[in-house]
Amino acid sequence: MAAPIAVAIDAPDIETAARWASAVAPHVSTLKVGLELYLRYGPEVITTMRGASKVALFLDLKLHDIPATVAGAARAVARLKPSILTVHAAGGADMIKAAVEAAPDTKIAAVTVLTSLDDSALEQIGLRGSTSDAARRLAALAVGAGARALVCSAHEVASLRAEVGPDITMITPGVRPAGSDRGDQARVATPEEALAAGSDLLVIGRPITNAADPGAAAASIASAIRRAEATSA
């Protein structure tokens, strides 16, 4: 079975995206298309990803606007039938509810606190408390508004799970295999740590796509995950 990994296909052009997608798709459950590709190519990039494989499609647009605008945007992309669509939980309960109602066949995933932020970055923004307190508060708000998935770092998965229960899909970016560059990510964990904390889907981009052989990098992380799952079973 494909490993519970969403590869972030953050490519500069559609040819590179198609190459990465077909290399990694045999090893992972999900491909994630984000702002870089979607803003350049729109729905065409979704068709290209689907052509590359039969894996699930995660559309990461991180919508954050007034409820009516987010409803319109969610409706506009719902026809592409992504399995997952992201919104920022900080947009508030009415905004999240609007996205959920506008895209009934897509799982709305609420981004709690970006994994690029640490406690001091939150303080600069003017948010009180730690990243984990903020993530917990936003998670409760988002699930109360109908979100069925949450995006957080592996550091918060266990406490968010305790807050929202077993039925919510926990998605964790900021995943870095041991020894790989953390780049702009602040709250990181290895794939094994993220899984052990209870993550359902690991989002991994550059550690795979910047590798000399993205297919081999995806296969290697996927088998490390399988080994970790076998040991904990």
Binding site for ligand OMP (CB under 6 A): 8, 10, 34, 60, 62, 86, 111, 114-115, 151, 173-174, 183, 185, 203-206
- The nearest distance, CB 119 to ligand OMP, in angstroms, is 15
3-class DSSP assignment, residue 227 = helix
Give 98 or 208: the residue with its C-beta nearer to ligand OMP.
208
- Ligand-binding site membership of 174 (annotated): no
Whose structure tokens read 């945007």? Answer: 73
Taking the least distance from each CB to ligand OMP, the nearer of 144 and 183 is 183
Residues labelled as active-site residues: 60, 62, 65
What's the one-letter identity of residue 173? P
Closest CA relative to residue 146, chosen from 74, 201, 76: 74
Which C-beta is closer to ligand OMP: that of 10 or that of 233? 10
Q: Which residue has the tokens 């039938």?
A: 81
Query: Least distance to ligand OMP from the beta carbon of 44, Å?
Result: 19
Residue whose CB is less far from ligand OMP, 40 or 62:
62
Instruction: Determine if residue 206 is labeled as part of a ligand binding site.
Output: yes
- Per the annotation, does 75 bind a ligand? no
54 is an annotated ligand-binding site residue: no
3-state SS assignment for residue 10: coil
- What is the closest distance, in whole angstroms, from the C-beta atom of residue 5 to ligand OMP in the complex? 10
Q: Is 115 exposed, middle or buried (0-12, 13-18, 19+ CB in 10 A)?
A: buried
**Least distance in Å: CB of 90 to ligand OMP?**
12
**Do 211 and 217 contact (CB within 8 A), yes or no?**
yes
Question: Is there a binding annotation on residue 112?
Answer: no
The tokens for 34 are 């984000």
Placement of tokens 């647009």 in the chain: 61
Element (H, E) at 209: helix 206-209
- Sequence-ordered list of residues with C-beta below 8 angstroms from that of 103, at least 6 positions apart, any chain: 74, 75, 77, 78, 85
Bridge partners for 87 per DSSP: 63, 110
Task: Please state the residue numbers annotated as binding site for substrate.
Answer: 10, 32, 60-69, 115, 176, 185, 205-206
